[in-house]
A and B are shown apart, each in its own frame.
Chain A
Amino acid sequence: MTATTTPPGTSTPYSELKAPTTARRLLTAPTTGPLVALLLACVFFSVSSDQFLTGGNFSLIVQQVMVVGTLAIGQTLIILTAGIDLSCGAVMAFGSIVIAKMAAEGSLPPLAAIALGLVVCGGFGLLNGALVQKIPLPPFIVTLGMLNVAFALTHIYSEEQTVTNLPGPLTALGQTFPLGNTDITYGSLVTIALFLLLAYALSNTGWGRHVYALGNSPEAARLNGIRTSRLTIGVYTVAGVLYGIAALLLISRTGVGDPQAGQTDNLDSITAVVLGGTSLFGGRGSVLGTFIGVLIVGVFRNGLQLMGVASIYQTLITGVLVILAVTVDQLSRKKAR
């Protein structure tokens, strides 16, 4: 991996603009820390468990993180604008119930039900963005409120019943295809494709650069002619649509519409974003970092389970890693000043 440039959006102080060495750039690239952590975890679990490096295990880990991973892409976009979204899991749960019920009860053809789910989730995002931008209200408060709204709607609309007997297209992404001696889940590919797509959009389009600019300083962005209001609402809407895709992945993974789903996914997605080196202050970070962050959580959960360690320790370790990640972020900012 060769980082030839500092990723856009990482604010490089003026003093460092004099051609930093490759080594230094690698050390300060926001994805380096998380990647090293992932490597170390991998080495550790390879040594401690015979099953960690079996063919199917990597596929398994990606399959297990695809739902939170997809949520975390949307969460990354919002956090890059210095916002936060507490409603993502609840919005996803509502989307999944909409898709499942509409399709299972035959009100809509499966593909139309999926489209409706994406629209509904996008609508939640649009509403979040509009409230944040137009009133304006703090994202934390807006999305906290929306969390409760979406949660309640999920339980009202589902009548607390798990929706079963779903038509085939809804669970298609949960199917697997063989690759060598490993089974790969289609949904995993969707998640990886989304990560690559958004990574490209953030680093190679004007829109992406504007998102970073907005996160660094909304005022400066506005003075530079960026339509910050439209941009903010757009980011929340895109995130909402991503939650809709996560809803579909969730259904395909479990094969049912579950009103209880996603209750801790908001914090889990924020965890992935933070572990991936994205700053909660906005303007610094990347979705690829988030991909690594979500894999770190997945690798620890899977590896500890293979070692036979109780799941509560996974929670403990995740907590420690989050604090470490934020500490690293803060220290690197100090150095940069």
Chain B
Amino acid sequence: MSRTTRPSSSLLRAAAVTGVAALTLTACGSGSGSDTASSGSGSVKVGLITKTDTNPFFVKMKEGAEKAAKENGAELSTAAGKFDGDNAGQVTAIENMVASGVKGILITPSDSKAIVPAIEKARAKGVLVIALDTPTEPESAVDALFATDNLKAGELIGEYAKAAMKGKSAKIATLDLAPGVSVGVQRHNGFLKGFGIEEGDSSIVCSQDTGGDQAKGQTAMENCLQKEPGINVVYTINEPAALGAFTALKAKGREKDVLIVSVDGGCTGTEAVKDGTIAATSQQYPLKMAAEGVKAVVTYAKDGKKASGYTDTGVTLITDKAQDGVTSKDTAYGLENCWG
């Protein structure tokens, strides 16, 4: 075999391979090309797209959607990004679901702004799109939003912390989510509002991003303690971050005299409230978000009525050390209603 190939032959080969690859995909005859979402089997197709497959919050959300789909005779398909913030993965999922003929898509946007063009394309094809848990920017990019009021969730634990401090001077560490992510910003701001302070108040001695991750929460708390050993209130974005903070405090022998408050109300987190690791948490209800979402799509399929606006799926303060003037429920209630 000679090493010198004639240009024509290898170009032909290149073209042939590409052609065969293309034909492979289209060979079997292009179908009707109808883009409208029509379900042949009579059961309504619903798509659920979460930020990731692995976060217990979304796993629970998926379970809620599956249960609701069964009850309402709908067919659920699910997809997720590969990591928190994987916008491209969510765009692809939307396209594929629209192609599979879903009547509606429920989505927890990884990137509130970046997902908007893909959502608009889906809605233009007559698909109902509902945001769960996280709003899009602008909020009007979706038909409806079913979510926790994260500002209120933060406010509740802020009020609680204020009451629990009983007038002692506070040195606060905030373990936040990540810059520019609305959920984190709202909880943080809610906490400050509930505590009755402004951003930049001298009582806030340390603020660190944790990505809601336990290991990063621990590192952040270690660094905060290094900076200001006198910290006595810790606000955390979620319970994994809170548990990480607790580990760091325990290593310094401070776990007994620091008040940790959090948001989420997952079962692990609620257990941690029960055993006193976390003082209080604002519990949210992902199962409800998903179930309501599925119902809304089924309703839309049946009589064309589109859900619209914002539906608050509720938040409850869970603690076993209730404070006067702050409404809360105990961990027995919390464990009954927790997720994860």
Binding site for B on A (CB under 8 A): 1-8, 12, 17, 19-20, 31, 35, 38-39, 42-43, 46, 49-51, 53-58, 60-61, 63-64, 67, 159-162, 164, 180-182, 192, 195-196, 199-200, 203-204, 209, 250, 253-256, 258, 260-264, 288, 291-292, 295, 299, 301-302, 305-306, 308-312, 315
Least CB separation from A50: chain B residue:
B40
Q: How far is the CA of A160 from the CA of B76 in the complex (A)?
A: 34
Q: How big is chain B's contact interface, by range?
A: 35 or more
| Given A162-B114, A181-B30, A254-B117, A64 contacting B100 (CB threshold 8 A) | no
CB-based contact B78/A2 at 8 Å? no
CB-based contact B34/A54 at 8 Å? yes
B165 contacts partner chain A, Cβ-Cβ < 8 Å: no
| Given A46-B28, A53-B29, A162-B113, A35 contacting B21 (CB threshold 8 A) | yes
B residues 1-23 in Cβ contact with A at 8 Å? 1, 3, 5, 7, 9-11, 13-22
| Given A56-B33, A56-B35, A305-B97, A39 contacting B83 (CB threshold 8 A) | no
Q: How far is the CA of A309 from the CA of B80 in the complex (A)?
A: 12
C-beta contact mask, B114-151 vs A, less than 8 Å → 1, else 0? 10111000000000000000000000000000000000
CB-based contact A181/B33 at 8 Å? yes
| Given A250-B88, A295-B21, A258 contacting B111 (CB threshold 8 A) | yes
Least CB separation from B15: chain A residue:
A196
Q: How far is the CA of A81 from the CA of B34 in the complex (A)?
A: 46
Least CB separation from A209: chain B residue:
B3
Q: Chain A residues near B77 (CB, 8 Å)?
A: 305, 308-309
Q: Chain A residues near B10 (CB, 8 Å)?
A: 5, 7-8, 200, 203-204
| Given A64-B95, A261-B88, A3 contacting B101 (CB threshold 8 A) | no
Q: How far apart are A184's CB and chain B's nearest CB, in angstroms? A: 11
B21 CB contact (under 8 Å) in A38, A46, A302 = A38
CB-based contact B113/A60 at 8 Å? no
B residues 22-38 in Cβ contact with A at 8 Å? 22, 24-35
A256 CB contact (under 8 Å) in B24, B25, B28, B117 = B117
Q: Chain B residues near A160 (CB, 8 Å)?
A: 178-180
12 contacts between A and B (CB under 8 A): A4-B9, A7-B13, A35-B24, A38-B21, A57-B31, A57-B99, A67-B88, A260-B111, A264-B83, A305-B77, A305-B96, A306-B100
Q: How far apart are B270's CB and chain A's nearest CB, in angstroms? A: 27
Q: Chain B residues near A67 (CB, 8 Å)?
A: 88
Least CB separation from B179: chain A residue:
A160
CB-based contact B30/A182 at 8 Å? yes
Q: How far is the CA of A7 from the CA of B3 in the complex (A)?
A: 9
CB-based contact A302/B99 at 8 Å? yes
Q: Chain B residues near A46 (CB, 8 Å)?
A: 28
Least CB separation from A256: chain B residue:
B114
CB-based contact B24/A260 at 8 Å? no
**Nearest 5 CB-CB pairs, A to B?**
A55-B33, A260-B85, A181-B33, A255-B117, A305-B96
CB-based contact A301/B111 at 8 Å? no
A1 CB contact (under 8 Å) in B20, B97, B100 = B20
Q: How far apart are B267's CB and chain A's nearest CB, in angstroms? A: 22
Q: Chain B residues near A196 (CB, 8 Å)?
A: 14-15, 18
Q: Chain A residues near B28 (CB, 8 Å)?
A: 42-43, 46, 53
Q: How far is the CA of A7 from the CA of B7 in the complex (A)?
A: 12
B92 CB contact (under 8 Å) in A58, A64, A291, A309 = A64
B233 contacts partner chain A, Cβ-Cβ < 8 Å: no
| Given A258-B111, A312-B53, A263 contacting B30 (CB threshold 8 A) | no
CB-based contact A311/B78 at 8 Å? yes
Least CB separation from A38: chain B residue:
B24
Q: How far is the CA of A7 from the CA of B96 in the complex (A)?
A: 36
A306 CB contact (under 8 Å) in B27, B29, B83, B99 = B99
CB-based contact A292/B87 at 8 Å? no
Q: How far is the CA of A20 from the CA of B85 in the complex (A)?
A: 51
| Given A42-B25, A254-B118, A311-B78, A5 contacting B99 (CB threshold 8 A) | no
A58 CB contact (under 8 Å) in B22, B85, B95, B178 = B22
CB-based contact A263/B83 at 8 Å? yes
CB-based contact B18/A291 at 8 Å? yes
B75 contacts partner chain A, Cβ-Cβ < 8 Å: yes
Known contacts A31-B17, A51-B100, A310-B78, then 18 further A-B pairs from the complex at CB < 8 Å, ordered by chain A residue: A3-B13, A5-B1, A6-B1, A35-B20, A42-B28, A54-B99, A56-B35, A181-B30, A195-B18, A253-B88, A254-B114, A260-B114, A291-B21, A299-B25, A301-B96, A302-B99, A305-B96, A311-B80
